[in-house]
């Protein structure tokens, strides 16, 4: 009896939209006028959709590049700012500031920085490093790299804070004992700090993987909403948005794309969770 409100909430706002997405993926539904059952046609179309192939490749590249950087760099930062030194609060705040800023605002600033006539190209040309502007926002791969860099820059502070909390649980006496035994800072980091925050690292890896596979804002804004030259910098979420918008939006196909995204997102989560379990058993 007591669980009925929670259960109702769960059914209406969580489970039903998911089930409805599955239902829609087997139809040719439009925003107006409904639609009808088309069987597996949307999924057959997906198999031959070149745009989806690019989007999946971009999402995987995003994850593969972001994962090591955003797992290791924030940990190093956290170790650095953990020390109780004068003025350390300033550095903690500075590293965390990009997290507070909205993704849209940050992406717009980066667009201005990376534009052909932007800050980076302007400075590099003034210094004579380059003869012409580098196409950060108009070249397929440079645009993807720019978006990845933005994500890494913005995510550093967020994951640093999580690591800082985890580092507080690593026993200081372990470090002291290792130091007495002659272990240097590097060995202490490898043999004490890393094992101490292993669980947090796995959690962060899962969070990064999911975020990277579902990336939208950075790519959308840096590409001016167009998904880069020829739409080859689209992410899967951008494709879903493109297909579902407007009067003639194809909700059936967009739902099929959502299901693909769901499975693509679940796989790395399961792999990392299994790794975590194995590590804990070892």
Partner 1 sequence: MRRRRLAPVAALAAAALTLAGCGLGSDDSGSGDAKPTVDANAKVTGEVSFQTWALKPKFTSYVEGVIKAFEAKYPGTHVTWLDQPGDGYDKKVLSQASAGQLPDVTNLPPDFALPLAKQDMLLDVAAADPSIKDEYVEGGVQAYQYQGMDGTFGYPWYLNTDIDYWNATKFAAAGLDVKNPPKTFDELLAAAKTMHDKTGGKEYLMSRLPGIGDFTNAGIKILSDDGKKFTFNTPEAAALLDKYRDAYKAGYMPRDILTNEYLGNSKLFTQSKVAWTTGGGNAIQDFQKDNPSLKGKVVPSPALDTPPLYVQGLSVAAKTKNQAAAIALARFVTNAENQAAFAKIVNIFPSTKASAQDPYFSKSDGTPESDAKVLAFQSLAKAKNLQPPVISGATNDFIGQQISLAISGKISSQTALDAAVAKANQLLTQ
- Residue 66 C-beta: closest distance to partner 1, Å: 22
Tokens standing for 281? 């058993």
Size of the site for partner 1 (CB under 8 A): 47
The reply to whether 84 sits near partner 1 by the rule CB under 8 A is no
* Site map (CB under 8 A) of partner 1, residues 109-138, x = contact: ------xx----------------x-x-xx
Q: How far is CA 160 from CA 46, 58, 79, 146, 260, in A?
A: 38, 26, 9, 21, 31
Helices 251-281/198-213 angle, 10° precision: 170
Q: How far is CA 195 from CA 54, 171, 188, 202, 217, in A?
A: 37, 12, 10, 11, 34
Looking at beta carbons only, is 156 or 256 nearer to partner 1?
A: 256
- Residue 62 C-beta: closest distance to partner 1, Å: 18
- Residue 195 C-beta: closest distance to partner 1, Å: 33
- Residue 23 C-beta: closest distance to partner 1, Å: 5
The reply to whether 27 sits near partner 1 by the rule CB under 8 A is yes
How far apart, in Å, do the first and last CA atoms of the chain sit? 43
- Tell me which residue of 268, 249, 275 sits closest to 56, measured CA to CA: 268
Looking at beta carbons only, is 192 or 254 nearer to partner 1?
A: 254
Which residues are paired to 37 by β-bridges? 27
Residues 137-156 that bind partner 1 (CB under 8 A): 137-138, 140, 143
Residues 204-233 that bind partner 1 (CB under 8 A): 223-232
Among 124, 125, 249, 276, binds partner 1 (CB under 8 A): 249
The reply to whether 10 sits near partner 1 by the rule CB under 8 A is no
Tokens standing for 230? 């020829």
Half-sphere exposure of 66 (CA within 13 A, CB side): 32
Looking at beta carbons only, is 97 or 245 nearer to partner 1?
A: 245
Tokens standing for 259? 């299901």
Tokens standing for 95? 């590293």
Q: Which residues bind partner 1 (CB under 8 A)?
A: 19, 22-24, 26-37, 45, 50-51, 115-116, 133, 135, 137-138, 140, 143, 223-232, 242-243, 245-250, 252-253
């Amino acid at each position: 009896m007591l669980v009925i409100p929670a259960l109702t909430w769960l059914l209406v706002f969580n489970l039903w939209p998911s089930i409805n997405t599955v239902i829609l993926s087997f139809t040719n539904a439009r925003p107006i006028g409904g639609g009808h059952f088309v069987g597996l046609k949307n999924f057959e179309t997906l198999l031959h959709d070149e745009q989806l192939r690019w989007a999946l490749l971009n999402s995987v590249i995003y994850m593969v590049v972001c994962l090591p950087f955003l797992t290791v760099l924030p940990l190093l930062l956290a170790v650095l700012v953990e020390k109780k030194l004068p003025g350390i609060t300033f550095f903690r705040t500075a590293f965390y500031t990009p997290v507070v800023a909205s993704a849209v605002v940050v992406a717009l600033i980066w667009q201005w920085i990376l534009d052909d006539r932007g800050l980076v190209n302007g400075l590099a040309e003034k210094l004579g490093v380059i003869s012409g502007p580098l196409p950060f926002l108009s070249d397929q791969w440079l645009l993807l790299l720019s978006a990845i860099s933005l994500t890494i820059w913005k995510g550093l502070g967020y994951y640093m804070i999580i690591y800082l909390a985890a580092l507080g649980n690593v026993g200081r006496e372990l470090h002291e004992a290792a130091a007495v035994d002659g272990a240097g800072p590097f060995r202490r980091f490898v043999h004490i700090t890393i094992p101490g925050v292993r669980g947090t690292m796995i959690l962060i890896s899962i969070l990064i993987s999911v975020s990277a596979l579902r990336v939208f804002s950075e790519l959308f804004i840096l590409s001016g909403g167009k998904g880069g030259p020829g739409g080859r910098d689209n992410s899967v979420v951008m494709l879903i948005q493109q297909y579902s918008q407007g009067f003639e939006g194809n909700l059936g196909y967009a739902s099929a794309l959502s299901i693909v995204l769901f499975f693509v997102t679940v796989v790395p989560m399961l792999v990392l969770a299994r790794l975590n379990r194995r590590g804990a058993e070892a």
